Amino acid sequence: MRSLACLFCALALALPPTGGWAAEVVLVASSFPKEILSAYKKAFDEQSAEYRVEFVNFPATNAISYVRDRTPGSRPDVFWGSSPDTFSALKRLGLLQPLDGFGNADIPPIIGKLAIDDPEHFHRGQALSGYGIMWNKRYLDARGIPVPAAWSDLARPEYFGHIVMSSASRSSTTHLIVESILQGAGWDAGWALILQIAGNCATITERSFDVPNSITRGRFGLGPVVDFLALSGKYSGFPVDFTYAWPSVITPVGIGLINGARNPEGGKAFIAFTLSEAGQRLLLRPEISRLPVLPKVYETADRPADYPDLFDITRSYLPAYAPEVSESRYQMVGALFDQSVTFRHSELVAITRTIHEVAKRLQSQPDADAAALLDKARALVYRAPIAENDDLLARKPLKTRERIAAIAAREAEWARQTDRNLAAARSWLAQANDRLGRRP
């Protein structure tokens, strides 16, 4: 905890004040990259004589414990982030203050099908986040790989070895993408697709930022990301592009006042600035490239010609996405992903390669028995780690410590089952290859 606190302090101090040391500090906790934080610090400090903003920056997965473990009066003033699960948890734990009668009247409460603010006003929507697939145009063109349009495309054999993604247990972005697939496709079909995509991945990174960075550099061809990480590269001139993949999820970027804030009035001043026209216009900068929630900002000449259309993307998003469901099984989904993917990725990749090879041989060498063995192997390798009605998922939400203990008690069981599934599938694929090898 001490080293983590030192990191927060170092990152906060790395952003030098511009408003003078006499100004009162507003402390904002956020997981956003430095390009966003630096731009908002400069703009806010320049227009405020009374306050200057400083940031503590850390992964969204640590946000709840960071806020909860500090006593009232020593907490940050504002939390600002993309994860609806985090805001749901902060609200449930009583760590946010309501913002009744506070905001920008020009920001509509609903855009397309999407509610922008928390219904009880414990947090406001400051921007929108969409999730989809980013790719490097030069990489795909050089290899003749088609541009994807949906998550299901990433399971196809032509993408094998060209995808990069991060772990759902270490990245709130990847967790939300995984949840959007589970909720959009259903538990069993969703896990089947997630495992097929993971089997096509060249690597599983520890940080979500490593995914767009690797794609931009051309180390890998494509991968799942939050929209602004791809769009900021695109509008900064890099050879990358992005599509909102189905099941598409669009969520508000939340901003809220922390209960027990050190400087609540300063926190309100910063929140008001992010919702103002000046604060919304900052989102269109190439290095930020987020989706404002103030519609008139899209009419500005600063907006790139092919910038995403606010109303188009909110009409087509997944309306059934439930952040409260995601929050209730957050640790479970992360642990299941690790046992099925992260800790056994090399084995998953090897068996996925064999599945693709056997399927390709069957195209030129039809064999009903070999095809049946391939189907059995696929069904076992890409099977949901546990049933959706499993007691650990079905019971009422546990306290964090109880849930972690319950998950830990089951992880060895999941690991053994995954190993048995992979071993059986390898045997069936070997039999299928033997049959195809004996054909004239």
Q: Where are the alpha helices (DSSP H) in 134-209?
A: 137-143, 172-185, 187-200
Please tell me whether residue 108 adopts helix, strand or coil conformation: coil
Asked if the domains 2-129+249-315 and 146-222+323-438 are classified in one and the same CATH topology, the answer is yes
CATH of domain 2-129+249-315: 3.40.190.10
3-class secondary structure, 414:
helix
Q: Which two tokens stand for residue 440?
A: 């004239």
Reply yes or no on domain 146-222+323-438 having CATH 3.40.190: yes
d(CA 430, CA 440): 18
Task: From 414, 255, 393, select the one nearest 337 (Cα to Cα).
Answer: 414
pLDDT of residue 320: 61
Low-confidence ranges of the chain (pLDDT < 50): 1-21, 440
Residue 291, phi then psi, degrees to nearest 5: -95, 110
Domain ranges of the chain: 2-129+249-315, 146-222+323-438
